[in-house]
Structure 1
Amino acid sequence: MNSYLMWLFPVISAGIGWITNYVAIKMLFHPRKPIKILFMTLHGVFPRRKKTLARRLGIIVEKDLFTPDMILDKLKTEENKEKLFKAIMVRVNEFVDEKAVQFGPMLQMFGGDAIIQQIRTGMENSVKEMVPKLLDDIGQNISSISIEQVVYEKVMDFSDAKFEDLLMSVIKQELTFIEIMGAVLGFFIGLIQVGILMLA
């Protein structure tokens, strides 16, 4: 065999390795809808198993990534308690100011600004006591929500194209690496073939 032609083996093998992996990766996502060819049905792995993947993703998110306890712990930090307290007090003060204008003459009879300040202080103390209880109530409501089901329904609402984009945004680099490794391994296999032919 012509020695120059022999050295095409690594190039051809690299091309075959790359194409094989490229096609295999494409078949993870395509065809998006089942296509029957004779006795075979072609359907992308991910579109075919979308329901299973959505359910498993929901389980993972609820158990390991976004549990109700984690959400509640985050809500109950001192920083968030202070933010909630301030947000409520803004509304309380707006309400007090509005009523102070509405009942101004009557309030003047009972101490005017002093009574208004007493009302503000009383409301402030009540809100401080209320915030932890309010967060507990929020936590109970969050616990009743099935995060698994929310994630499952959200993923199932995705079109096949959107679902592919979502997965590709996570694993695109890894899939590209697999394509390249197909070419690299193919190239080395071609070199081995050349070596065998040269020794024969």
Structure 2
Amino acid sequence: MSVVVLTLPGWQSSGPGHWQTLWEERYGDRRVEQHDWMRPLRGDWLARLDEVLLGLPPGQQAVLAAHSLGCIQVAAWADHSRLTARVRGALLVAPGDVEREDLRVLLPGWAPIVRSRLPFPSVLLGSSDDPYCAQERAQVMAQDWGAAYHDMGTGGHLNAESGLGDWPAARALLEELKKATT
């Protein structure tokens, strides 16, 4: 069975130096494009992921590579979608804590964070100095979602500014998820 990697960027999408963009260029991963990256509507983002999964060829599964708000999207989507069997696993990187007051104001409609266990294997990568989510909060999200937590040390928001390049260590974890069976 073939597996496609779908990248799920966060708020404002992922720019040229972001590991998601580099993976798309290097490995042919496919970005789930959103109608509005600047004013994200949760329902629209969830529906868009369903649309992309419905458009996959019969028998093909996806591994989700989510960053920031994309992680919150995965949790909300998995809680209500009937298409979760099409997902083999999820790499969740630096979830944005949309329950924090400063982010709640910027991203209305995304709180509360869905805390249900994900129905597929998942790994959450967090850092000790992420400006958008305290490490303790990321660890609790990982636990609630049933995701293995990996501490990336001091890496900030694990984005282009973190200087990760195409981030081979995270890609190795994603490759393991591609081999997982649900």
Give TM-score scaled by structure 2 length.
Answer: 0.21
Higher relative contact order, chain-length normalized (CA < 8 Å, sep 6+):
1
Larger radius of gyration: 1
Higher strand share: 2
Give the alignment's TM-score, normalised by structure 1: 0.19
